[in-house]
Structure 1
């Protein structure tokens, strides 16, 4: 008898690579509005509060769609949901070139791109890592989370250059082309579960199969929320992540470039600083994933939030027309902390709520993250319009981060988790391992 030679690389790493590419795109598409806010204000005469409202809708839907996206991935699979999300992003970005009113900006930037990128958010990373990996799960979560920073690194300088040289419309069309280019890769390569190709998850010895869920995806997501609302750990995780969203996506990601512009710094330079934050975020988030496999996640979160708060307190004094060494120190320090909170938060959600329900529950925790981001994006725009400065926004976020550090230490740790509720989906059934060959 002839046997096919066992693959030299586990399929899980290929799936993770495709997920990384999709997440890079999602992060870049979501971050692009920060580059276009000033050109749109100049062309249409819209105030910072108006463009900030569109960004707020984007951030809110980006988070609110996450638990439903997680349930849809359970119901219809990773591949279908991700491909549809990319098409939505392409449509939202492409249609912006025809807009003439601010409500159309809200529809395209806020609704279409918000729903599309939200369907490829951190729940996507959590689902891929949870299904395909047993060994190195925390590290893979860190790498996939870092894809968000890489998306900024790839897209922001390019989008800023295109918007500055050719206008914001070619920049939007570039997003459309990039989103559509990823669709064939997702359709051809991405697979929903290791069992689909006759494999066990990486680091496991048994193939996991299960009955395909037949329930309504919305009911699945809402059931997970209803059960988790009884848990103190859920409220502490969601509250901390709400503050995390305020201090990152809602404030720095959306308003760093306009704030730098207020101090006469060129937009391309400010976009380059955000991209530099992205470079160091890759290091920080991958390192956080590695630490999550080894250190108490509560302690990691407390350190991350506390250090972020201290850095934001100093930020208003660092802006200037040119890049000073003190600003570079902030970029490095803040970059290492940017989304380092994600791997320990996902790990705690799985620990407290279980591997199946934990992913959907994390979708709701992530929704709180984006709710915080939406609130901060809108409030910062209003503060800038009314006070002429972002200083109060930076300081307010700093104080909240220090509160989040204290909240993190109150989350129940290993061995003290509350009794798990009945799972929202049938647990996997294990069968003996068999190779793909």
Structure 2
């Protein structure tokens, strides 16, 4: 029996010929799961105006429900790996999908504001938070040695792909049949992936009698680093002792404010205020999802060649300028200048992630995954503030203009924060226990 493993070769061959390594099946199903979970990310901005029209709920109220969702999404993320490590991937994944389906499905019967907060905020927030960076880290770490970076990038991009697929569909169905039918589409999409999870998702390669893709069959099972509640708490303590963590978390919170919180939640109603049809605005926002994949890959390439601080300064300043001019670009039609904004914002949307991780790695080394989990939590807290704050501004002023201008100013603050980070890691920086 040969013990030499080619990372590109199939593992688990039979007399009938080679089969794909089971790791790729797990990765494919994980991609579909993240894709389905991303469907809800397309719902709030499309349904804000219909909910406001039918129930009279203010933009701030609907934004508050999304704030709860984003806070729970961010807080759950650092602990998702620990939950899967303790209870298994399939139970946590299935439970998360059920929470998302319950929140969106039961939501068609809601008649009160507290129900919106409970269903769309709490249930869906916990569900989507369990299918985020922690889940991606679990799958890529346990199932892959070779191609781990590729798999991580593809699974991370699944969320943007989900936005691309669902936004036009949700907008079209909402426009023609009403928001309840659109909500049910998201529910059905979430439930449809449960059989795939039960059939193909396994905790570790040893559960199907194989090894991680590209791994040594004689090596022991690789444990998931930072996969305990103690490690998550220790990572937060470690970060809080370092000024660079505060600067990264603060700038990334502004990143969340100006992406998921502001544009992701309020772009469609803001465009609708200027007479743009919801379906057209949704198509523009979906286009952001196309270009953010390109922008992230290109940003990762640049991060290997350019000072990460310089990249972040350029990204945030460019984003601030684009937000400053956005109010004059919105109109009933998608003018060429509007498309320029969409393309640039898409390229810049999550381009901040690779350089932020690079700076985090220079300070925290092996503790980077769990420390970055808390930086990501700050991102979602910022998004939550903007989701509510922009809605409040819209209710008070009848326009989103002030929210866009304030966000532009915050981008300048983020650029200054990133420019003030030191890259050299002092020897005194403690490692987590």
Counterpart of 1:258 in structure 2 is: 269
Structure 2 residue 347 is the aligned partner of structure 1 residue 336: yes
Equivalences for residues 312-331 of structure 1 within 5 A: 312-331=323-342
Q: Is the 8 A contact 1:352 1:420 kept in 2?
A: no
Pair 1:211–1:178, CA change in 2 (3 A): closer
Q: RMSD of the alignment, in Å?
A: 2.9
Counterpart of 1:381 in structure 2 is: 391
Counterpart of 2:14 in structure 1 is: none
SS at match of 1:421: coil
Pair 1:309–1:122, CA change in 2 (3 A): farther
Counterpart of 1:359 in structure 2 is: 369
How far apart, CA to CA, are the structure 1 residues paired with 2:309 and 2:141? 20
* 1:189 to partner: Cα distance: 2.5
Q: Is the 8 A contact 1:383 1:389 kept in 2?
A: yes
Counterpart of 1:369 in structure 2 is: 379
Most deviating of 37-46 and 357-366: 357-366
1:57-102 deviations in whole A, cap 9, x for unaligned?
Answer: 1111111211122321333343332222111101111110111111
Structure 2 residue 406 is the aligned partner of structure 1 residue 396: yes
Pair 1:379–1:335, CA change in 2 (3 A): same
How far apart, CA to CA, are the structure 1 residues paired with 2:249 and 2:95? 28
Pair 1:422–1:56, CA change in 2 (3 A): closer
SS at match of 2:332: coil
Pair 1:47–1:10, CA change in 2 (3 A): same
The two structures have a TM-score, normalised by structure 2, of: 0.88
1:364-421 deviations in whole A, cap 9, x for unaligned?
Answer: 2111111100101111111111111111111211221222223224444366576442
Residue of 239, 249, 255 corresponding to 1:228 = 239
Residue of 68, 72, 76 corresponding to 2:87 = 76
Pair 1:104–1:15, CA change in 2 (3 A): same
Pair 1:27–1:303, CA change in 2 (3 A): farther
The two structures have a TM-score, normalised by structure 1, of: 0.87
Structure 2 residue 248 is the aligned partner of structure 1 residue 240: no
Equivalences for residues 198-217 of structure 1 within 5 A: 198-200=210-212, 202=214, 207=219, 209=221
Pair 1:212–1:16, CA change in 2 (3 A): closer
How far apart, CA to CA, are the structure 1 residues paired with 2:268 and 2:239? 37
**Unpaired segments ≥5 residues, structure 1:** 424-437
Residue of 177, 183, 187 corresponding to 2:198 = 187
* 1:237 to partner: Cα distance: 1.8
How far apart, CA to CA, are the structure 2 residues paired with 1:68 and 1:45? 37
* 1:168 to partner: Cα distance: 1.0
How far apart, CA to CA, are the structure 2 residues paired with 1:79 and 1:304? 38
SS at match of 2:193: helix
Most deviating of 395-404 and 337-346: 337-346
How far apart, CA to CA, are the structure 1 residues paired with 2:377 and 2:193? 25
Pair 1:127–1:297, CA change in 2 (3 A): farther
Question: Size of the alignment, in residue pairs?
Answer: 421
* 1:136 to partner: Cα distance: 5.2
How far apart, CA to CA, are the structure 2 residues paired with 1:233 and 1:132? 32
Pair 1:137–1:216, CA change in 2 (3 A): closer
* 1:12 to partner: Cα distance: 4.3
* 1:285 to partner: Cα distance: 1.9
Pair 1:309–1:53, CA change in 2 (3 A): same
**Unpaired segments ≥5 residues, structure 2:** 12-17
How far apart, CA to CA, are the structure 1 residues paired with 2:258 and 2:354? 17
How far apart, CA to CA, are the structure 2 residues paired with 1:346 and 1:14? 28
Counterpart of 1:153 in structure 2 is: 164
